[in-house]
Amino acid sequence: MRSAFLLLPLIFCIAITAQVEPIQIGTLPNLIDEASGLQCPNAIECWTLNDNNDGSRLFKVDQTGTFISQLILNNASQIDYEDIARGQDGRYFIGDFGNNQNDREDLTIYITEDLETVSGTTVDTESISFSFSDQSAFPPPDEEKNFDIEAMIQWNDSLYLFSRNRTNPYNGWTKIYSLPDQAGEHEALLIDSIFGNLSSTYNSVTGADINPSGQRIVLCTNGAIFLITDFDEGFSSASIQYNFFSTTRPYEGISFIDECSVLLVEEGNPGGIYSLNTCDILTHMPELEAEIELQISNGMLRSSIERSFSRIEVIDISGRCVHRSSGRMEIPLNSLKNGIYLVRMFESGQSHVRVISVQY
């Protein structure tokens, strides 16, 4: 039976980019064992939180993870906190919108004053209650389970929410919603969607932030970050650079600390704090964007350029490595089952990533 091989089309101006690795710079204290969300008002201090059963607390730490202080949110319950965002006016937004089963009807975002101005151990909150404009079943069918939210940013009087896709079979789409950034009852409007890839590990969004000038949005997953630029006309026409990591970790929050640099926080005990410069991703783009193509020859998957790679990996949609080798790119197609794969080729501290589909 004939086999077919094809590169998935690059849509929405997506570019598969060079690999820039996060570097661990700190470790969180034991009391923050389920870190879920990160927001850094400056390059020295950050706010983070545990996702549930933690008394509605926010924790301030420095970049090394050293505990500084904590605040308790007044008039706030805690079901599943998933992200924290800071508005242009200094207000903070805490998202109690974790929705793994896609069945919640009590989604809430808490609003506080600028946390840097709070002198006590508690802070008052207002709240936004919201529902999704496109959800009518709680839960929906498995193939429509894309109403979990773990990522949020604020910009221009609106909050933007990014879904963590839990569809089965997994369809690779991240939905983007907007709603007003003022207290009250609101409907989160579905304004756009972006397609990433068909690996939930590398594609399902767990955190987001926007840089101070509003020129870059970054999304994090357990195995990659997506850098979004040129989104003035909407996300579907934006430029998206994918930066895949060589290893996966439970990254659950991300925050800019300046125009380029971000910190990531990892869930776990102990959880780590990591640093990455998003401008390095753009710096590597031009030389790698179209350098390597994949092709079939005599039943083998090969690169278009004769080159020896330090490591070659093929990752299936569950995030499992199904092939690992080094040297020339020569992978027997009959060793791959039907499905979607990420192919990563490492050389000289950089990596090239391609998305392929194998069908028999």
Q: How far is CA 26 from CA 29, 189, 209, 273, in A?
A: 10, 38, 20, 5
Q: Report which DSSP code applies to 118.
A: -
Q: Scanning the structure block, which residue is given the tokens 């201090």?
A: 45
Q: What percent of the chain has pLDDT over 90?
A: 65
In this predicted model, which residue has the larger pLDDT, 5 or 114? Answer: 114
The pLDDT confidence band at residue 350, using thresholds 50, 70 and 90, is: low
Fold classification of 294-358 is: Immunoglobulin-like (2.60.40)
pLDDT at 86 over 50: yes
Computed over its alpha carbons, how large is the radius of gyration of the chain?
21
Contact 25, 274 (CB under 8 A): yes
Query: Can you tell me the mean pLDDT for 273-294?
Result: 70
The pLDDT confidence band at residue 318, using thresholds 50, 70 and 90, is: low
Q: What b/e readout covers 1-27, taking b as 16+ CB neighbours within 10 angstroms?
A: eeeeeeebeeebebbbbbbbebeeebb
Comparing CA positions, the residue from 235, 199, 195, 165 lying closest to residue 11 is 195
Q: Scanning the structure block, which residue is given the tokens 């975002």?
A: 109
CATH says 23-284 is which class?
Answer: mainly beta
Query: Can you tell me the mean pLDDT for 264-288?
Result: 81
What the block records as the tokens of 230 is: 């040129």
Pairing of strands 217-220, 224-229: antiparallel
The pLDDT confidence band at residue 8, using thresholds 50, 70 and 90, is: very low
Longest dimension (CA), the chain: 71
Comparing CA positions, the residue from 158, 224, 207, 223 lying closest to residue 186 is 158
The pLDDT confidence band at residue 241, using thresholds 50, 70 and 90, is: confident
Q: What is the pLDDT of residue 319?
A: 65
- Pairwise CA distance, residues 200 & 316, whole Å: 10
Q: What is the pLDDT of residue 291?
A: 58
Query: Can you tell me the mean pLDDT for 6-10?
Result: 41
Q: What is the pLDDT of residue 15?
A: 47
**C-alpha 37: how far from its chain's center?**
11
Helix spans in 55-188 (H): none
Pairing of strands 14-16, 239-244: parallel
In this predicted model, which residue has the larger pLDDT, 292 or 285? Answer: 292
Sheet holding 251-256, edge to edge: 23-27, 272-277, 261-266, 251-256
- Pairwise CA distance, residues 25 & 274, whole Å: 5
Residue 80, φ and ψ in degrees, nearest 5: -155, 85
Q: Where does CATH 2.120.10 sit in the chain?
A: 23-284
Q: What is the pLDDT of residues 102-140, one digit of tens each?
A: 999 999 999 999 999 999 999 999 999 999 999 999 999
What's this model's pTM, rounded to 2 decimal places?
0.82
Q: Where does CATH 2.60.40.10 sit in the chain?
A: 294-358
Q: What is the pLDDT of residue 315?
A: 79
The pLDDT confidence band at residue 247, using thresholds 50, 70 and 90, is: confident
